[in-house]
């Protein structure tokens, strides 16, 4: 990853990964920072990913690798506006015991097809991510395959879901390092796919595909589908991002959908943004179980126009009580009178009733968090949760798109017995990561 955390407008924010990956098999968690707007040589927006390899004390810039399409062994060449790193996911695709990194490049031009998109697999091994190949996505003009990617280690083997303007592709079965895969299926039902996810909501060993379309006119976000098909309508609420986890501790995965946009066109959105919670069960997802905003009982803050509550969402058991806590990015929230400084709101999971009570807020003004809240920082634009130190306490990773004159910033807040803490937290900037060029938007951050 060359640069910082950036993502151009319209590209899906990354989803949280609760279980870290280990690309080099040393037993420590590795952190991936996508930087799709990074400059490579003279190519603006060529894109990169920065891999920070783990160690006993956590991740460090002294153990990083910046990977671009100009890196030896990576297919293709870094070109202006390719946006390599717009999306990332991981799984052990070839079942060799090392996690592999999947990288989307949605604006890649292929022969005869502008903005066709490309999906690259960086294969893990004892030396880290080295060899690479591409998945066989269709070559379609403006197909933009790789707009988002997701992966899951299903009961029948690993699966990869790739979203784009031309629909989605699912790959499964046997993956080989030459790029071949035994099973592939095109999913072209519904509008263009901006966000891809997986969730085993009925605990049958097969994760359902969760797809969210691009924003649509007259709606506050995109349409959200579960195993999209002609006979399966979209869920009745809009959204722009999703997260999966067990919020009520019943053993079934639940779905959280972020809908940060302002109400428009008679939609059911909420001023300042909201999230919707859908519980899993024996028969899959129930009807919407709760709609939560900053006007909901117990939720810290107050709903205000353009707060963008729900711009990023994650679910993880932060305090180890057996319940998944909902983490919500609120990048448009004012902090201490500073407009759009941004915040992260943590809503504890509950066995019964609507979550909200006991919620708390984290900002750059939180004790021991490096930096200070400033107008336009957008703290919470993207986030993820993962056990970076492998100490059993999930860490919180937060991105701020406006930090450092809009080059972006990233914070790693260590987990504790009660949840994320500013004590011992780390702030990373583009300069610290060795990135050049302006990074206009903070993109997905995945703790692997």
Residue-wise DSSP of 276-292: EEE---TTS--S--EEE
pLDDT, residue 176, reads 96
Predicted confidence (pLDDT) at residue 189 exceeds the cutoff of 90: no
As beta bridge partners, residue 196 has 211
CA 318 to chain centre: 18
Question: Which residues is 447 bridged to in the sheet?
Answer: 31
Question: Does residue 11 contact residue 106 with C-beta atoms inside 8 Å?
Answer: yes
Cβ count near 391 (within 10 Å): 14
Which position has the higher pLDDT, 213 or 218?
213
How does pLDDT run across 362-388, given as a tens digit for each residue?
999 999 999 999 999 999 999 889 888
- Express each pLDDT in 281-321 by its tens digit: 999 998 888 999 999 999 999 999 999 999 999 999 999 99
SS3 61: helix
Report the DSSP pairing between strands 181-187 and 193-199. Answer: unpaired
Res 7 pLDDT > 70: no
Task: Say which residue the tokens 């021991």 belong to.
Answer: 368
Bridge partners of residue 276, in order along the sequence: 257, 291
d(CA 79, CA 97): 33
Q: In terms of Cα–Cα distance, which of 141, 130, 121, 128 is closest to 52?
A: 128
pLDDT in tens, 389-407: 888 899 999 999 888 888 8
Q: Does the global pTM surpass 0.85?
A: yes
Write the DSSP symbol of residue 165: T
Report the SS3 class of residue 440.
Answer: coil
Q: pLDDT tens digits, residue range 134-174?
A: 999 999 999 999 999 999 998 888 999 999 999 999 999 99
What is the Cα 97 distance to its own chain's centre?
A: 23
């Amino acid at each position: 990853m060359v640069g910082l955390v950036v993502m151009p407008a319209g590209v899906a924010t990354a989803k949280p990964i609760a279980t870290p990956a280990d690309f080099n098999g040393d037993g420590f968690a590795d952190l991936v920072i996508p930087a799709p707007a990074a400059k490579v040589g003279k190519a603006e927006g060529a894109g990169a990913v920065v891999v920070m390899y783990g160690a006993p004390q956590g991740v460090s810039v002294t153990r990083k690798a910046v990977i671009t399409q100009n890196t030896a062994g990576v297919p293709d060449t870094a070109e202006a506006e390719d946006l390599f790193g717009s999306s990332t996911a991981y799984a052990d695709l070839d079942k060799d015991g090392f996690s592999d990194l999947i990288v989307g490049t949605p604006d890649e031009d292929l022969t005869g097809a502008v903005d066709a998109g490309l999906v690259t697999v960086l294969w893990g091994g004892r030396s880290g991510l080295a060899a690479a190949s591409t998945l066989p996505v269709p070559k379609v003009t403006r197909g933009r395959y790789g707009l988002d990617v997701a992966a899951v280690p299903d009961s029948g083997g690993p699966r990869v879901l790739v979203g784009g303007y031309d629909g989605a592709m699912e790959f499964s079965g046997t993956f080989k390092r030459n790029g071949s895969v035994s099973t592939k299926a095109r999913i072209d039902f519904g509008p263009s796919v901006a966000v891809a996810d997986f969730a085993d909501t009925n605990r049958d060993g097969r994760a359902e595909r969760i797809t969210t379309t691009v924003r649509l006119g007259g709606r506050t976000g995109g349409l959200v589908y579960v195993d999209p098909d002609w006979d399966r309508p979209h869920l009745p609420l809009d959204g722009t991002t999703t997260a999966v986890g067990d919020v009520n501790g019943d053993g079934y995965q639940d779905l959280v959908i972020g809908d940060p946009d302002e109400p428009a066109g008679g939609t059911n959105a909420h001023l300042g943004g909201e999230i919707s919670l859908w519980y899993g069960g024996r028969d899959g997802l129930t009807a919407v179980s709760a709609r939560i905003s900053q006007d909901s009982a117990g939720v810290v803050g107050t709903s205000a126009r353009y707060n963008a509550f729900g711009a990023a969402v994650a679910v993880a058991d932060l305090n180890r009580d057996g319940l998944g806590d909902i983490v919500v990015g609120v990048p448009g929230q004012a902090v201490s009178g500073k407009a759009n400084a941004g915040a992260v709101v943590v809503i504890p999971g509950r066995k019964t009733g609507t979550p909200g009570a006991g919620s708390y807020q984290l900002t750059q003004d939180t004790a021991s968090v490096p930096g200070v809240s400033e107008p336009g920082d957008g703290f919470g634009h993207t986030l993820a949760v993962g056990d970076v130190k492998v100490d059993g306490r999930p860490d919180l990773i937060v991105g701020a798109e406006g930090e450092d004159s809009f080059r972006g910033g990233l914070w790693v807040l260590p987990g504790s017995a009660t949840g994320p803490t500013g004590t011992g937290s780390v702030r990373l900037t583009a300069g610290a990561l060795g990135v050049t060029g302006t990074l206009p938007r903070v993109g997905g951050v995945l703790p692997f």
